[in-house]
Structure 1
């Protein structure tokens, strides 16, 4: 016997079923172009740094595209790890992203035994938004203007291979070890309490050689207080076209750092994809790209899939270096 249902009753059942799916986070309309609540971009560092500045450039342009307020929230502590431990516990309905870097998502899991979060299980990569180079710089006391002159000096006097870095366990520290491998010298790494004291000693003459991020050293290079001999990118930085890469200087080495948005793994995939799409649109804005260049930051336009592939390749490059160093906090 055929059972007949009214069109009104069928429609009511369908609406109820869709509402139930949405309530448990399993359904987000494919055509959704806006969030249902404000978005918070969390930075695990104090205001004023390059990560913080990049987040704020993006926030003001992302808000109109999502139709909700987008704010930046600084949660400094433990070198960015505190923010990661907090974000991983975000409920599925919370609109929150973390702007992370390699120190938090690649290096920390290799050197801390009880980290408090798992980059692969607790987070989903959304979009890479910037990259930055490392720079090899010397003070004016050395009177060198080419990287190969420094290489020759270190080959003749390997005891002078003392590389100042902003902190032990930082990316510049491990990049310094990469440089040592490329030059066949064993560098001594001298850690400082940040980029400011490192740059002060370099320009003051008490430190002959330093490795730090390009944005941390470039202003002093322009002022003539130090000389950047090479940068680690595969191509010259757009804001520093006269500074050669390591490969152009004869050393087969390239590496970089990055800032990437991560969502807690509890966030529904359709929402992750929506955010990835909108962030990518923002990164294509010529105004943002110009503003990033002015901060000595290289903007990156990337999809979620491209970001995941970048992270995989990055770990393959850096994990052997970190493990071989034997560094422990």
Structure 2
């Protein structure tokens, strides 16, 4: 008994000595240095806004700076690939978006990442519907009128989007099939130029970014016909959903969520997810998101994993049905 006690004492002393020599039993608590949030869009816009607000509010909660790193290009594939091949230490994270994670894998050949294989979900950040708008010269005042005119003259109505293969383009394809109509896509290089041409009467309607459209809808420069989400947007509560407008069950959302490279320590993932959810529990943060047309809300990693899988299945079906392929 005395020998056992002596061995335990010696072991404890050895552990204390090793600790004094700077050899801790576990690594430093995460995070111990600044964290980069890689965003596939340029500065400005709703995704950049909510990423920066999240970064700002995470700093006091997590004890380290969170810095937004804007890496636009290749329809979001550039930033997404960069994070997929970064060290899984939690210091390079992805502000993931609908296109790069749920649509592009079905559109582009030879992508060097597979979302469900290469990323560890952390938390949802925000969702937003696409808004269907009509220009003042189009004469279209409701979604019903749009469908009626499109059925009477297939492909006579052109709609603007922010590019081929984007979530806005695919939301339009999804709606066209639900309504049994044929529309002509006019892809633009970005939302501002598309909205400018809708206001100017150069294109009839648009499937547009909600945040960018709010000022034009509010000043009656364009007519809001519907939003594509399952529920009305808090930013424009008087605008009906497509589902309410005669197409029950229709839902197409854009979203922003936080991911890490696969292999990040699960305990650190859970700690970061809890921090993000603490940020979004703040009423001021949610109100700032609403003003941008965003429904801000967190999630657990498991909830985000299930959501990504469902979104991937949905958009794959749309891409295959519409037979869209991009190089």
Give the TM-score normalised by structure 1: 0.90
Change over 3 Å in CA distance of 1:92–1:214 after alignment to 2? closer
Equivalent residue number for residue 105 of structure 1: 101
Equivalent residue number for residue 318 of structure 1: 315
Change over 3 Å in CA distance of 1:47–1:14 after alignment to 2? same
Equivalent residue number for residue 169 of structure 2: 173
1:144 aligns with 2:140: yes
CA contact (8 A) 1:46 1:52 kept: yes
CA contact (8 A) 2:39 2:94 kept: yes
**Which 5+ residue runs of structure 1 have no aligned equivalent?**
none
CA contact (8 A) 2:54 2:279 kept: yes
Aligned partner of residue 235 in structure 2, secondary structure = coil
Equivalent residue number for residue 265 of structure 1: 262
Q: 2:296 aligns with which of 294, 299, 310?
A: 299
Alpha-carbon distance in 1 for matches of 2:212, 2:31: 36
Q: 1:309 aligns with which of 293, 306, 309?
A: 306
Deviates more, 1:169-178 or 1:183-192: 183-192
Q: 1:59 aligns with which of 55, 59, 71?
A: 55
Alpha-carbon distance in 1 for matches of 2:163, 2:268: 37
Alpha-carbon distance in 2 for matches of 1:95, 1:12: 35
Equivalent residue number for residue 224 of structure 1: 220
Alpha-carbon distance in 2 for matches of 1:197, 1:311: 30
Equivalent residue number for residue 284 of structure 1: 281
1:76 aligns with 2:55: no
Cα deviation code 1:126-160 (max 9, x no counterpart) = 10010010111111112332211221121212232
Residue 285 of structure 1: CA displacement? 0.7
Q: 1:36 aligns with which of 32, 40, 46?
A: 32
Cα deviation code 1:46-88 (max 9, x no counterpart) = 1112211111011111100001112111122222211122212
Cα deviation code 1:143-180 (max 9, x no counterpart) = 33221122112121223232221101111111111111
Residue 230 of structure 1: CA displacement? 0.4
Equivalent residue number for residue 197 of structure 2: 201
Change over 3 Å in CA distance of 1:327–1:20 after alignment to 2? farther
Give the TM-score normalised by structure 2: 0.91
Residue 256 of structure 1: CA displacement? 0.5
Equivalent residue number for residue 155 of structure 1: 151
Alpha-carbon distance in 2 for matches of 1:278, 1:192: 38
Equivalent residue number for residue 236 of structure 1: 232
Deviates more, 1:256-265 or 1:146-155: 146-155
Equivalent residue number for residue 96 of structure 1: 92
Aligned partner of residue 220 in structure 1, secondary structure = helix
CA contact (8 A) 2:150 2:182 kept: no
Alpha-carbon distance in 1 for matches of 2:10, 2:43: 55
CA contact (8 A) 1:218 1:228 kept: no
Alpha-carbon distance in 2 for matches of 1:124, 1:92: 9
Equivalent residue number for residue 11 of structure 1: 12
Deviates more, 1:94-103 or 1:280-289: 94-103
Alpha-carbon distance in 2 for matches of 1:144, 1:185: 15
CA contact (8 A) 2:34 2:91 kept: yes
Change over 3 Å in CA distance of 1:22–1:83 after alignment to 2? farther
Alpha-carbon distance in 1 for matches of 2:11, 2:322: 65
Change over 3 Å in CA distance of 1:82–1:3 after alignment to 2? farther
